[in-house]
Structure 1
Amino acid sequence: MRLSKYILKRLVLAFLTLMILVSIVFFMFRVIPGDPVSMFIDSGLDQESQELMLKLYGLDKSLPEQYFIYMKGLFQGDLGNSFTYGKPVLDVIGERFLNTIVLTTTSLIIAYSIAISVGSFLAWHRNSRIDIIGTILALVVRCAPVFWTGMILLSIFAFNLGWLPLGGMVTSGTNFTSFFDKVFSIDFLKHLILPATASALYSMATPTLMMRTSMLEVVKEDYIELAYAKGIPDKKVRRKHAMRTALLPVVTMFAVAAGLAIGGSVLTETVFRWPGMGREIVLAVGSRDYPMAQGAFLFIGFATIMFNLLADILYAYLDPRVSLD
């Protein structure tokens, strides 16, 4: 019952956070220099055309009226129409969001799979030369900006060696019958390698160090000593007893990292010209397509809030010591 009450409380807080985010994004795009109204007024159109365009996008109404109309449309799944694409924002964002999810999921699976193994290995060999070197390397990788890592990878494997594509998601002119056919094609996988690797390298350090710290705490527990006393082999103690317990904070951190990775995908997608949400924000802001930029911000914000909610629930479920008040 306490867990159900806790989940309900977190759901309410997540909803309120989302509504605050929606309001901030809405007003931000209407008060900053170069807002949608000034875009049409400064476009060189005649007076009649300006009035027609402002009316078409509902920009002739007062700000409170625009806000009410936008919120009403939002609850009906209507994010407005894109200035650039000339079609509903949701239609464009849907595909871009899937592209970002594919890239983010792949990079996080790679990062956390390696981080769990490396972190536990370093902890098991604590204070050794390999532990010191591994910890330093993790910190160095974490400090390297993802766009810098991306450009280094492009320079080596795309420009110089020519092993992998320079960017994009598929080769120009290639057609696929469905999204899933595209995702599982060799061409797509070749384009995915470099951006996923750059993102994974950046995301790997924190879970590696967290797994190491968690393992160092676990190996001090009495049940580990008891396992050794029973004559259980070292590898089995590490994998079956120590790692299982040490994984708890890393597993819950994965959900938080997923939300942050989606929100931080702008640099990776821009460097590799990956047609996802992050790159779409850059293109939308550059072309002053405010409905598209606004919708993309909301999608990323929604994903981040939901993944953080999942992390809270996971932690409360897996660790009964967490306060549910």
Structure 2
Amino acid sequence: MADYILRRLIYMLITLFAVASILFLMFRMLPGDATLQVISPAMDEAVQQRMKAAFGLDKPLLQQYFIYLKNLVTMEWGRSFVTAQEVTAIVSYRFWNTLLLMVSGLCMTLTLGIGLGIIMAWKRNSPLDIGGTVVGLI
């Protein structure tokens, strides 16, 4: 049992690493520049360079990636480009509402899913069962 748990934890870490890497690359490959919300093209070139240096965007992509991974692990997520607030404060502010919505949705899904599953099993091969199966597969 301990081997199974250890193996699942390793798979979880590999999955989290893959998702974080894909997100980093995806946001770097998107057209446009996210820094344009903060760094205006009308600004002086020296100011633009200082702001890029402050955000770490003047470093090579590989170095940015390792900084990103380090900050992700240590939960130093920096400041929002839009509101200039700490990202940790934004996430923690919305955490309880998100948890409430998630638990409510999970309870509703389980109740409906189990209830409809029981009805479909009771009325086996009926139009209700076939329709429910088709809708579930879609």
CA contact (8 A) 1:122 1:134 kept: yes
Match of 1:132 among 104, 127, 130: 127
What root-mean-square deviation, in Å, do the aligned CA atoms of Structure 1 and Structure 2 show? 2.5
Question: Match for residue 65 of structure 1?
Answer: 63
Identical positions, percent: 36
Query: What's the TM-score once normalised by structure 2's chain length?
Result: 0.81
Match of 1:78 among 76, 79, 97: 76
CA contact (8 A) 2:79 2:85 kept: yes
**Deviation (angstroms), 1:103:** 1.6
Match of 2:89 among 91, 97, 108: 91
Match of 1:20 among 18, 36, 44: 18
Q: Does 1:8 align with 2:6?
A: yes
**Deviation (angstroms), 1:118:** 2.7
Residue-by-residue CA offset, 1:38-93 (whole Å, 9 max, x unaligned): 66665321212211211221111111221222222222111121011212212112
Residue-by-residue CA offset, 1:133-162 (whole Å, 9 max, x unaligned): 3542x368x4xxxxxxxxxxxxxxxxxxxx
> Which secondary structure state, in structure 2, belongs to the residue aligned with residue 126 of structure 1?
coil
Q: What is the number of equivalent residue pairs in this alignment? A: 137
The amino acid across from 1:133 in the alignment is L
Residue-by-residue CA offset, 1:194-247 (whole Å, 9 max, x unaligned): xxxxxxxxxxx57xxxxxxxxxxxxxxxxxxxxxxxxxxxxxxxxxxxxxxxxx
**Deviation (angstroms), 1:4:** 1.1
> Which secondary structure state, in structure 1, belongs to the residue aligned with residue 43 of structure 2?
coil
Q: Does 1:45 align with 2:43?
A: yes
CA gap of 1:139–1:45, structure 2 versus 1, over 3 A, is farther
Q: Summarize the alignment of residues 1-325 of structure 1 with structure 2, pairs less than 5 Å apart.
A: 3-36=1-34, 43-127=41-125, 131-133=126-128, 135-136=130-131, 138=132, 142=135, 205=136
- Measured in 2, the distance between the counterparts of 1:123 and 1:21 equals 38
- Structure scoring higher RCO (CA < 8 A, sep ≥ 6) equals 1
Query: What's the TM-score once normalised by structure 1's chain length?
Result: 0.38
- Please, which runs of 5 or more residues in structure 1 have no aligned partner? 143-204, 207-325
